[in-house]
Amino acid sequence: MSTLVYEKHLDDIRVEFDALYTWDYERSRDGLNRLYEKAKRAQWNVSDDLDWSTPVDPWRLMALQAEETGVPAGFPGRALAEVPNSPVADWDEDRWIDFAVHSQCTSLSQFLHGEQGALLCASRLVEAVPWMEAKYYAATQVVDEARHVEAFHRYLDEKMPATYPINENLKTLLDDLLRDPQWDLVYLGMQVVVEGLALAAFGMMMGTTRDPLLRQMIRYVLADEARHVAFGILSLEEVYGDFSSTEFRERQEFAYEACRLMRRRTFNAELWPSFGVSNEEVEALLPPTRGQQAFQHLLFSKIVPNCKKLGLLDHRDGWLRERFGEMGILQYEHASTEVEELTIDSAIDPVEA
């Protein structure tokens, strides 16, 4: 059974926003209708559709992963060993494998906490969005997110050695999303930034893990997440068509701040102190390494092209384009959004595609 490495189990924030009835039950938004129908057909059950009897030895699997992929255990954090006067210079391979296991625990823990945040945000959208089609779909996302929380918690509890607390940067963004009275910012922050980041992170984990249970679980989650991103894009494309320049700039600034917070989340601040390394050392030494930068940048490969699709990247003076250029992630503006498009327009499973 996974060990909880934090004690505080309840947290509350004050939120205020308008809950909207809509007495127009006609469904005229074809994209959202198709997405809703697909979501109803694609429901899966954590208890029945995953084989929880699968034995999982995280340390053996991590060593096997490093051997088969050629990527050393502990990447990208292992790049810290390459810098002068490194605090981890004397770590042997067993230490790096243990670090890699706990690094996976921190990633899975942030997935777990992020999914609970998505659960609360999706439930807010049910109340706040003005279109019946969007209320229908948001209700299916609530079910999806509850299922994801259940799945990640069960995997951490039954198969991994520890569950870590929520990263403060992720918590800040989730709190901001829940507090903001403008429901389109919930779409932008959750459906585009957080869910887009999740698509990239889940895809990387599914491609590297040697655990068949985790791989299958992530395949199911990925299919759900692709629909969630598509839901955000479809909804915001309609809303943003009527926005003023001032409203657009506010959304550009919000998207940039959300990405900045999510980039800082990748430093694994919850993990390093338990291995005797201060977060100050990590922040001072790790960011300049090429491996760490490449890992961080890849995570934004879904966010940048979708910001471009929404018109945020180049609106007016291209303020967001300049900011993303400074972050070093602008090269992803032409990355494929095929997963989301397939989710909307066809019956192809987005994971298979």
The domain spans of the chain are: 28-345
The torsion angles phi and psi of 229, rounded to 5 degrees, stand at: -60, -45
Query: What's the pLDDT tens digit per position in 292-348?
Result: 566 667 778 889 999 999 999 988 778 999 999 998 888 888 887 664 444 444 333
Query: What's the pLDDT tens digit per position in 69-82?
Result: 898 998 888 888 88
**245 pLDDT exceeds 80?**
yes
Identify the burial level of 246 via C-beta atoms within 10 angstroms of its C-beta, where 0-12 means exposed, 13-18 middle and 19 or more buried: exposed
Dist CA 333 CA 112 (whole Å): 28
Query: What's the pLDDT tens digit per position in 134-145?
Result: 999 999 999 999
CB 79 within 8 A of CB 291: yes
Q: pLDDT class for 90, splitting at 50, 70, 90? A: very high
Dist CA 6 CA 53 (whole Å): 28
Q: pLDDT class for 349, splitting at 50, 70, 90? A: very low
Dist CA 36 CA 48 (whole Å): 23
- Name which of 21, 36, 330, 320 is nearest 188 in CA terms: 320
Torsion angle defined by CA atoms of residues 148, 153, 154 and 160, in that order, rounded to the nearest 10 degrees? 130
CB 163 within 8 A of CB 156: yes
Q: What is the mean pLDDT of the chain?
A: 87
**29 pLDDT exceeds 80?**
yes
Average pLDDT over residues 56-68: 96
Hey, what are 190's tokens? 């959750």
**4 pLDDT exceeds 70?**
no
Dist CA 202 CA 112 (whole Å): 12
CB 347 within 8 A of CB 38: yes
Q: pLDDT class for 276, splitting at 50, 70, 90? A: very high
Query: What's the pLDDT tens digit per position in 251-268?
Result: 999 999 998 888 877 777
Write down the pLDDT at residue 339.
46
Q: Other CB atoms closer than 10 Å to residue 188's CB: what's the count?
A: 28
Dist CA 75 CA 154 (whole Å): 25
Dist CA 145 CA 135 (whole Å): 15
CB 266 within 8 A of CB 298: no
Dist CA 347 CA 353 (whole Å): 10
pLDDT greater at residue 99 or residue 296: 99
Helix (H, G, I), strand (E, B) or coil at 38: helix
Residues 6+ apart with CB under 8 A from 109: 156, 162, 163, 164, 165, 166, 270
Instruction: List, in sequence order, every residue forming a beta bridge with 135; answer none if it has no partner.
Output: none
Average pLDDT over residues 199-223: 93
- Which residue matches tokens 């494309």? 237
b/e per residue, 233-244, with b = 16+ CB within 10 A?
bbbbeebbeebe
The topology under which CATH files domain 28-345 is Ribonucleotide Reductase, subunit A (1.10.620)
- Name which of 207, 208, 204, 202 is nearest 224 in CA terms: 202
Strands, E assignment, the chain: 3-4, 162-163
Dist CA 57 CA 291 (whole Å): 27
